[in-house]
Amino acid sequence: MKVAVLGFGTVGVGVYEMLKNAPALEAGPVLVRPGKEDTGFKVSSIAAITSDPEVGAVAEVMGGTHPAYEYVSAALEAGKHVVTSNKALVAAYGPELAKLAADHDVAFLFSAACGGGVPFLHNIALAVESDRIKSLGGILNGTTNFMLDAMQSRFMSYPDALAEAQALGYAEADPTADVSGLDALRKIMLACAVAYGQLPDEGLCREGIESITADDVNHFQSKGLTCRLVTSGGLSENGSLFAYIEPVLFPASAPECSVLKNFNMAKYDGENAGRIVLMGQGAGRWPTASAVVRDLCDILHGRRIMMKPDCLRVAADNSSCAHSYYVRLPESEISRLPVEKAECFEGVARVITKPLSVLEMHQIAAELRKEGGSLFFAALGE
């Protein structure tokens, strides 16, 4: 199958090179911006690809929602299979594109958009055919994991850990999507869409790592705890979908503590299979390209669907998931929380709460910040 590649950047170059060595696949034309067609295999018009009868599939690795949405739609309408690594595109337009693919009897797969080289969506798509997934999630952002690991193992400050992540190419010049949790939240949206046929795009709770300090990390270490940024999704007992991201504190025995540097750890709980854990590189040229090529090989084996064509957009309900939380906040604000125990020093309180719902904790934090207060919170994990 000849594969056209849209975008010739970090992932695009990797996909193109891998296609040249994949036995059942062939590298086709590559879409670049006008003026950048410096060799014979590069084209600058999507029509040159959609009208090429030899092209059987398109790998979209340009990023962004526009014109990626228009180009992917045109490819599907022209009867080409599509594989993408673009989480922003699938989070915004996944249901429309999945329906378009089904209408034209072609594939729309997006493993690389969640977990890079870690075959998370690939395995969820297989698992739902034979099992019921009770919950899913994990450490799905390598940049923030690198920073939290550097703060704990090398006692770095937040700004220094971020600067090192940027210098190593793990964090972008504008790191907001990573450190605010948005990047990983989009991934859990996609994972829920694959597992449950429901894309949660409202009611999501999001807490990143922007408020953590070296003092917080020192405090956790003194208690034998390790902080990780964790996404969670699943079905509550009342049948509603929950989806959120927040820092979590783990005891040394937890597998999350062994996820170091920029690695990812994705997991799901199957009703029959039990807990399945996948660990590996969540980003980078070759891991991400390998996921794109794996999807293309899956198409050759007959797989067409990752997100069902009737996938619904739903609001997440995070009111029935409850944990105890660690909260660092001004001592004067302690009465806002259901306190289990507290340590106070020089006007700063470090509180362990009684269990409260994810929704309540995120609402309390939002209210306090709106009033100008500063805090950091993390759930207590198992």
Ligand X SMILES: NC(=O)c1ccc[n+]([C@@H]2O[C@H](COP(=O)([O-])OP(=O)(O)OC[C@H]3O[C@@H](n4cnc5c(N)ncnc54)[C@H](OP(=O)(O)O)[C@@H]3O)[C@@H](O)[C@H]2O)c1
CB atoms within 10 A of CB 225: 21
Q: How far is the CB of 163 from ligand X (least distance, A)?
A: 19
Structure tokens at 15: 């996909």
Minimal distance, residue 286 CB to ligand X, in Å: 9
- For ligand X, how many residues bind (rule: CB under 6 A)? 21
Q: How far apart are CA 287 and CA 6, in angstroms?
A: 18
CB of 322 closer than 8 Å to CB of 356: yes
**3-state secondary structure at position 270:** strand
20 is catalytic: no
Q: Residue length, the chain?
A: 382
Q: Is 11 in the site for ligand X (CB under 6 A)?
A: yes
SS3 266: strand
Stretch that binds ligand X, among 2-10, 19-27, 152-160, 242-250 (CB under 6 A): 2-10
d(CA 122, CA 83): 12
- Between CA 303 and CA 81 the distance in angstroms is 10
Footprint (CB under 6 A) of ligand X, residues 273-302: 283-284, 288
Residue nearer to ligand X on the CB measure, 141 or 318: 141
Binding to ligand X (CB under 6 A) within 105-124 occurs at 112, 116
Q: Per CB under 6 A, does 7 bind ligand X?
A: yes
Q: Residue 314 Cβ, how far from ligand X at the closest point, in Å?
A: 24
Give me the catalytic one of 36, 80, 87, 187.
187
Asked if 8 touches ligand X (CB under 6 A), the answer is: yes
Find the binding residues for ligand X in span 141-200 (CB under 6 A).
Answer: none
Secondary structure class of 81 (helix, strand, coil):
strand
CA distance 179 to 48: 39
Contact stretch for ligand X (CB under 6 A) within 6-14, 90-98, 194-202, 330-338:
6-14
Stretch that binds ligand X, among 25-33, 237-245, 319-327, 357-365 (CB under 6 A): 25-33
List C-alpha distances in Å: 122 to 118, 143, 193, 204.
Answer: 9, 22, 13, 24
Nearest Cα neighbor of 57 from 39, 26, 73, 80 is 80
32 is a contact residue toward ligand X (CB under 6 A): yes
Nearer to ligand X, 175 or 284 (CB): 284
Q: How far apart are the first and last CA of the chain?
A: 46
User: Is residue 31 within the footprint of ligand X (CB under 6 A)?
Assistant: yes
Rg (CA), the chain: 22
We find the least distance from the C-beta atom of residue 97 to ligand X, in angstroms, to be 14
Q: 68 or 249: whose CB is closer to ligand X?
A: 68
Give every CB contact of residue 228 below 8 A, 6+ residues apart in sequence.
139, 145, 148, 247, 248, 250, 256, 257, 259, 381
Contact set for ligand X, span 48-107 (CB under 6 A): 61-63, 67, 85-87
The contact set with ligand X (CB under 6 A) reads: 7-12, 31-33, 61-63, 67, 85-87, 112, 116, 283-284, 288
- The residues annotated as belonging to the active site are 187
